[in-house]
Amino acid sequence: MDATDAITEFLTTRRAKLTPAQVGLPDFGGRRRVPGLRREEVALVAGMSAEYYKRLERGNATGVSEAVIDGVSRALQLDDAEHAHLLDLIRAANAGAHPQPRRSTARRSQITAGLRQTIDAMSTVPVYVQNGRLDAVAANRLGRALYSELFDDARPPANAARFLFLDPRAPSFYREWESQTRQIVAVLRAEAGRSPHDRQLSDLIGELSTRSDLFRKLWGAHDVREHRAGLKLLHHPVVGDLDLTFHAMDLASDRGLQMIVFSAEPGSATHERLQLLANWVETDAPVTQ
């Protein structure tokens, strides 16, 4: 994952999404050779010379200041996740131009005993722990039961992206499978910016790009997104449809890991089905981790 190429592709795809009217510029008509804004228009709105912006879009990030990055983000109307991604790409490009001894970028694949005790104690809600590559690092009993199809028959480590794109059960499990594919790719794209030297992440992206036309198409869009909170619509093979609220929290004590906690509105059909799932765990489902 070359950082200079990533800067070029990211900025190009962002300006392709905008029109002059959206950034407050007049549109004098005429045929445009490329969709969206011209580089000169981005530079004008960002408050810099066209040549300077062109160098940046070609991946030359040497000496780029925070003020310049803020100007480009404002011009391209980047959201917080996209702004952070651009910063990550620029840092990676500068690190490549001035190599330093690399720190290990290996993502955690185990949790501490203290965290294991904590998630096991959360017995009434599904809890799932993942790393930046979306490897399943741990789950409590209810979390493992919720994602039983992800864990079943998966080569270790079970991976949410691999399941989503390569397992034929995924479109039935995720009731909004298409939107979930976009979400997952955007999360992986953001992680690639943070961890450009993660060999296992590169291997995963290569595998998915080779085996899934949809993944390859979505990866080329260069969309990035954070995975913090929302509604997850699932169809569990045992208890049926589940409308689950989720909150994802980065773990300060276990850096590189994210804990996702699912819940349901008390008295709702999903709440009752979660209780059924908990009963199923206790009676019929051997759970190991």
Q: Write down the domain spans for the chain.
A: 3-97, 113-283
Residues in the chain: 289
Nearest 5°: the CA angle 264, 227, 42 is 140
Place of tokens 């080569």: 155
Q: How many CB atoms lie within 10 A of CB 160?
A: 20
Judge whether 204 and 159 are in contact, CB under 8 Å: yes
User: Hey, which residues does 127 pair with through a beta bridge?
Assistant: 261
Between CA 92 and CA 201 the distance in angstroms is 16
Q: Is 60 exceeded by the pLDDT of residue 240?
A: yes
User: First and final CA of the chain: distance in angstroms?
Assistant: 33
Place of tokens 């976009």: 182
What confidence tens digit (pLDDT) does each residue in 21-39 have? 999 998 766 667 777 999 9
Question: What is the per-residue pLDDT for 97?
Answer: 57
| Angle in degrees, 0-180, between the axes of helices 50-57 and 39-46, rounded to the nearest 10 | 110
* 205, two tokens: 């992206």
Domain 3-97 has CATH 1.10.260.40: yes
- Topology, domain 113-283: Beta-Lactamase (3.30.450)
* 101, two tokens: 């001894």
Rounded to a whole number of angstroms, the CA Rg of the chain reads 22
What confidence tens digit (pLDDT) does each residue in 140-154 have? 999 999 999 999 866
Question: What is the per-residue pLDDT for 125?
Answer: 95
